[in-house]
Copies of this chain bind each other. A is one copy, B any other.
Amino acid sequence: MLEELKKQVCHANKMLQTHGLITLTWGNVSGIDRKKGLIVIKPSGIPFDELQPENMAVVDMDGKPLPGSLIPSSDTPTHIELYKNFMNAGSIVHTHSPWATVWAQAGKSIPPLGTTHADHFYGEIPCTRKLTEQEIKSDYETSTGKVIVETFADRDPEAMPAVLVHGHGPFVWGKDCKTAIENAVALEMVAKMAYHTLQLNDVKSIDRWLLDKHYNRKHGKEAYYGQGKKNQKSKGHE
């Protein structure tokens, strides 16, 4: 079964490129096998074009690579921190996709300005506080995970599957690799459109009922998207 997860994680890493979310090697995807307590993640320093299922790195929940594994992405401790706290996350994506990163650099949360946002994210996409000097100097990548978890103290990571790390960039997650990648794609587009909307008009948020309607018609108990459970291939609205 790890073979299947390695295949999915490898494919998802390559999809980051397909969707234009990657410049050079700035990004990584991981997936978790919660029963085995093992995480599969992009190996450090291997170009996207050379990724194969068999060279995916595998680490345990302490970040220790399994024997024979390549060295995992240096962001691995951040991923682990999120998996430990966001129990529904099956896959995590980190990129420096430009529009999401612009908001992270500005230190601003992305307000919900339209139904595209509401279809994927239930409310404003939060930006973390800055890390302190101490947090950066000692165990930086774990601190990054901790500040994300802190930001979600009063948020539901299932309804809000993305965060902007202050001065850095986005982390995004989902129940599986496919959903996590879709959320990363949606975040980038939502970030781009929110940026330009605010240049045109100083709007604050769509109405709560419109946010509710769009989020729930897709994710709620009475969601009415797709071909029913059997044939449902996508949760996108269409």
Contact = CB atoms under 8 A, between A and B. Distances in A.
A236 B68 CA distance: 23
A196 B185 CA distance: 19
A44 B106 contact: no
Interface string A135-148: 01100100000000
A195 B106 CA distance: 11
Interface residues of A, number: 77
Contact of A71 (B50, B192, B206, B226): B226
A157 interface: no
Interface string A78-108: 0000000000000000001011011111111
Given A101-B114, A114-B105, A234-B47, A137 B169 contact: no
Contact of A45 (B167, B192, B207, B225): B225
A182 B44 CA distance: 17
B228 A114 contact: no
Contacts of A197: 102, 105-106
Contact of A238 (B28, B113, B209, B227): B28
Contacts of A27: 238
Interface in A184-198: 185-186, 189, 192-198
A144 B229 CA distance: 27
A206 B133 CA distance: 11
Nearest to A24: B236
A225 B74 contact: yes
B200 A233 contact: no
A129 interface: no
B75 A136 contact: no
**Which 7 A-B pairs give the minimum distances between C-beta atoms?**
A25-B236, A45-B226, A106-B201, A106-B200, A105-B114, A105-B197, A25-B238
Given A98-B192, A116-B169, 7 more contacts: A23-B189, A45-B238, A96-B189, A98-B196, A102-B200, A104-B114, A115-B169
12 contacts: A23-B189, A26-B119, A26-B237, A26-B238, A42-B238, A43-B227, A45-B234, A45-B238, A98-B193, A130-B207, A136-B210, A167-B210
